[in-house]
Amino acid sequence: MSRKSWTTHLVEYLKHHEYLLLIIFTFITLILYPFLEHTSSWPLTYHILLSLILLSWIWSTWDNTYLIWLTIWLWVSSLILNWADYRAGEASQFILIYLITTFCFFCVVIIKVISSIVNHKKVNEHIIFWSIAGYLMIWMAWAFLFAIIETLFPWSFEPAATLIGNIPSFLYYTFVSMLTIGYWDMVPIGSHAQVWSVILAIAGQLYLTILIWILIGKYVKSD
């Protein structure tokens, strides 16, 4: 197979599996974090990966007219603020706006994914990719929500090493909370953080439970 035909085949596959890139870049962010956390290249790597996650979402929704303009506005805002935050560092005056905008962006992603799952007729690889993407986007959205809480209400989380805008730490905490593991190495001590941590744990379990119910129902109907 020629290089051109291989590339064409890959593009066509991604067009028909629009959430695959979103899943891949999200998993890459999760996997690379422990290896690059304490290196000088991690801040740049993280902002690049977040940009790729944002770009992959545009790829997956480009033909969806009823969300496209809202998505583009949030995407452009998040992308610009993402790199403004990187250039400014920990003293970034854009941090709260950046966190809120990106949180809203992921909320739109979650709505679109859940809508795709509910409206799809059959259980196939598309609905499986959408289901995985939905779970991962809840994870991303809540990480930014917790970062917003820490920014507005400092010392909402323990230990104090959790700095404002330290998204990777909140990604870890969010995933642990969604899975109801609770290692207790990072805990919510502020009332806002505690309430939204409980809501996240409930939302994570409800998503899986309702998702299984929807998939089984669609599978039975397709037979």
Interval 53-76: pLDDT, tens: 777 776 665 555 556 666 667 767
CA 126, 128, 129, 135 torsion-angle sign: positive
What is the number of residues in the chain? Answer: 223
The single-letter code of the amino acid at 63 is D
Residue 169 has pLDDT above 60, yes or no: yes
Residue 196 has pLDDT above 90, yes or no: yes
Percentage, residues of the chain above pLDDT 70: 74
Tally of CA atoms within 13 A in the half-sphere of 46 that contains its CB: 23
Residue 164 has pLDDT above 90, yes or no: no
H helices then E strands: how many in the chain? 8, 2
Range from 11-15, 124-128, 136-140 that averages highest in pLDDT: 136-140
pLDDT at 62: 56
pLDDT at 193: 92
The token pair at 212 is 């299984």
Percentage, residues of the chain above pLDDT 90: 6
pLDDT at 177: 86
pLDDT at 89: 60
- Each residue of 142-152: pLDDT tens digit? 999 998 998 88
Q: Is the peptide bond before 159 cis (omega within 30 degrees of 0)?
A: yes
Least confident of 57-66, 91-100, 135-144, 146-155: 57-66
Residue 121 has pLDDT above 60, yes or no: yes
Global pTM reads 0.80
pLDDT at 173: 87
